[in-house]
Amino acid sequence: MKLIKAVRGTKDIIEETAAKYSHIHRIAEDLFSAYGYSYIKTPIFEETDLFKRGIGEATDVVEKEMYTFLDRGERSITLRPEGTASVVRAYLENKIYAKEDISKFFYMGSMFRYERPQAGRQREFNQVGVEVLGEASPILDAEVIAMSYHLLEKLGITDLEVNINSVGENESRQKYRQALLNYLEPVKEHLCEDCKRRLETNPLRVLDCKVETCKKYTENTPSIIDSLSEAERNHYETVKKYLTLFGIPFVENPKLVRGLDYYSSTVFEIVTNKLGAQGTVLGGGRYDNLLKQLGDRETPAFGFAAGIERIMMLMDTIPSKETDIYVAWLGENTCDFAMKLTNILRKEGLKVAIDFNSKGMKSHMKKADKLNVNYTIIIGEDEMAKNIVVLKDFNARTQEELTIEELIKKLKK
């Protein structure tokens, strides 16, 4: 019988990667909560128009990467390629703006893009991200960038480079677009086929083409920073000032334009040189016009998303420690006593492992060693008769007899 395999571009998250995955979730949730963000979960599929209008028709994502299909009711549905448009839709639809001045959300989950799979690039991948709605201050931009950097630091990832830029508001972007076209039109013939097309649809995207000849011909293009208005330039300067104040090292990269159309003003990416072509670990920026585009509201916003698969590739192995305590019971008669005790300890919030089959001391110790626990509780018939247990502390290298109350008190400490 032919074994059915996972679909191309998708991967099981199992064993070591599963331990890393849940570790990332835990760290991200703790960090974002500490910064005052609350969890949001939006549906995995949406009306196709949400992404067309939100991300932009001329982007690679919308043009050629979306998983779009007609459902049984003939509606055009798309598996979400990213989280921002959905969070904005949920914010508008649920009128969250009427309840609070500023909303800070974090989310985690699968995204879908029909890309050519390679290391660090999948068709179903996972993101952890945040979106802040209702705040225009450049200090927010710097704070979110700093928080994203702290996230990677907390996960033990080093050798990162924070790249920042400003793509300005529509007016400045139009001005820059023209300056760029004037520069690139004469060398058009030397650009790749994709970039020739981009010159018509989205010339800024030529700046981050990875093809060597395109890179060469964009080396000395005019800088977008020169097209910014005074207000936009001040915003950008303030972001830089606060990044410095927060102790975040950064590099200004005037060619950073991002692949989604909703950005205005600050954009940023954190990159590494350890992942080959897929070196962007996370990215985001300000999208002050998206709420107008989707819901006719003047609400400024900023956010970022990180690729969990890329983070996992950069992380060292984390020792999985599901349990702290192992209960070893000796002889059939002690089984119920041991099960009851385990139940009590778990209700006290302790992480306890126990086996269901009777075994000898030697194999119990082997199991405790494999689980890498700090404590083993030993229950024999003598101990049970006296309503006590023996607690073996592997770190302190001690062994003592304790009543159940003493045991709980000690373990909870």
Question: Nearest to residue 48, comparing CAs of 93, 80, 84?
Answer: 80
Joined together, the tokens standing for residue 297 give: 């509201």
Instruction: Please say which residue, 54 or 203, places its beta carbon nearer to ligand HAM.
Output: 54
Q: How far is the CB of 252 from ligand HAM (least distance, A)?
A: 19
Q: How far is the CB of 43 from ligand HAM (least distance, A)?
A: 16
Instruction: Please say which residue, 102 or 365, places its beta carbon nearer to ligand HAM.
Output: 102
Give residue number: closest CB to ligand HAM: 307
Q: How far is the CB of 126 from ligand HAM (least distance, A)?
A: 8
Instruction: Please say which residue, 203 or 284, places its beta carbon nearer to ligand HAM.
Output: 284
Burial class of residue 193, CB neighbours in 10 A (0-12, 13-18, 19+): exposed
Radius of gyration of the chain (CA): 27
Instruction: Please say which residue, 273 or 398, places its beta carbon nearer to ligand HAM.
Output: 273
Strand partners, 123: none
Q: How far is the CB of 118 from ligand HAM (least distance, A)?
A: 9
Instruction: Please say which residue, 44 or 70, places its beta carbon nearer to ligand HAM.
Output: 44
Under a CB-based contact definition with an 8 Å cutoff, are residues 61 and 82 in contact? yes
Burial class of residue 280, CB neighbours in 10 A (0-12, 13-18, 19+): buried
Strand partners, 378: 328, 390
Helix axes 48-55, 84-93, angle to 10 degrees: 110
- How do beta strands 280-286 and 266-271 pair? antiparallel
Instruction: Please say which residue, 278 or 320, places its beta carbon nearer to ligand HAM.
Output: 278
- Distance (Å, whole) CA 148 – CA 2: 44
Judged by the rule CB under 6 A, the positions of this chain that interact with ligand HAM are: 82-84, 113, 115, 120-122, 125, 127, 129, 131, 259-260, 280-285, 287, 303-307, 309-310
Q: How far is the CB of 321 from ligand HAM (least distance, A)?
A: 27
Q: How far is the CB of 242 from ligand HAM (least distance, A)?
A: 18
Under a CB-based contact definition with an 8 Å cutoff, are residues 286 and 267 in contact? yes
DSSP string, 182-232: HHHGGGGGGS-HHHHHHHHH-GGGGGG---HHHHHHTTTPPPGGGG--HHH
Instruction: Please say which residue, 68 or 320, places its beta carbon nearer to ligand HAM.
Output: 68
Q: How far is the CB of 293 from ligand HAM (least distance, A)?
A: 14
